[in-house]
Amino acid sequence: MDQSRNERDAIPGQELAEIIRQLAAHYGLWLAEAVHQLGLEGALDAEAEAGDRLVAILSGKLERALGRESGALFQGVDPAVLDAAAQALRTGWLAADGVWFQAVEQRAGMDAAKRVNDTCWARFAPLEARRAKALLKLPDNGGIPALKAVLAERMYGRLNRWEFVEETDASIVFRMTDCRVQTARKRRGLPDYPCKSGGTTEYTSLAREVDPRLRCTCVGCPPDDHPEEWVCAWRFTLDGE
């Protein structure tokens, strides 16, 4: 065995981490190119098929590698441990968003990083909505109830603190009361990150995927001034209601 292999294996789990890194990058590149070739809707349809197949394949391979019975990959694992692992992965997802933004910003400036960010969210938010609808078995055109369920289920729904206010049958306001990104900046003495353009893209595309009748308007989001009680707020309205 060569020296480089010995050095790599000296750090427990390093090989697994590298495989996960390349698997995620390759999967993401396939999705990005599928958007280019098929359009966003076609790419999301393809991801639904490919993603379900991949999860089943990976689960089966890991079960065999770990000597587990089929369907018993996590059987016997303390639910609290699984919850902690899930939250660690969610915060890791947020970190991935941040390190990519910083890497692009360092090379091409803030405007370029924001363009990349907004493009990513225009594609990822609909994917999040589709995955939440599939996991929760929500109907198409589910209106405000489906939107509330998706906002609670998505990644940010498990990472930040938020609330619903001013709810009617045809509209609702979603307010982020504690945002990890902005709170971290505040701790470092930095001003709010101006995320209004990205947030508008994100929430508009997510709402449209939940129900094409939903329209999103920004109540307030940095660089807008906002009260201490919330960081950003978004009004969702059913068109024609």
Helix or strand (DSSP H, E) at 108: helix 79-108
Q: Is residue 212 part of a domain?
A: yes
- 47: tokens are 């991801």
61 & 136 share domain: no
Is 21 within 8 Å of 100 (Cβ atoms)?
no
Q: Is residue 104 part of a domain?
A: no
156 & 215 share domain: yes
pLDDT score, position 133: 98
Consecutive 10-residue runs of the chain (241 residues): their mean pLDDT?
60 86 97 97 98 96 92 91 95 95 95 94 97 96 97 95 94 96 91 92 97 97 94 94 59
Q: Is residue 100 part of a domain?
A: no
pLDDT in tens, 99-109: 999 999 999 99
Helix or strand (DSSP H, E) at 164: strand 161-165
Residue 202, domain CATH: 3.30.1380
Q: Is residue 236 part of a domain?
A: yes
pLDDT score, position 210: 98
What are the residues whose beta carbons fall under 8 Å from the beta carbon of 124, sequence distance 6 or more? none
Q: Is residue 84 part of a domain?
A: no
Q: Is residue 91 part of a domain?
A: no
Indicate the residue among 25, 49, 76 that finishes a domain: 76
Indicate the residue among 54, 76, 98 that finishes a domain: 76
137 & 195 share domain: yes
136 & 236 share domain: yes
Which domain covers residue 55, as residue numbers? 13-76
pLDDT score, position 12: 72
pLDDT score, position 2: 60
CA distance 22 to 173: 39
pLDDT score, position 203: 97
Is 158 within 8 Å of 225 (Cβ atoms)?
no
CA distance 59 to 194: 40
49 & 143 share domain: no
Q: What's the half-sphere exposure (Cβ side, CA atoms, 13 Å) at 241?
A: 14
Give me the number of domains the chain comprises: 2
Q: Is residue 128 part of a domain?
A: yes
Q: Is residue 82 part of a domain?
A: no
131 & 72 share domain: no
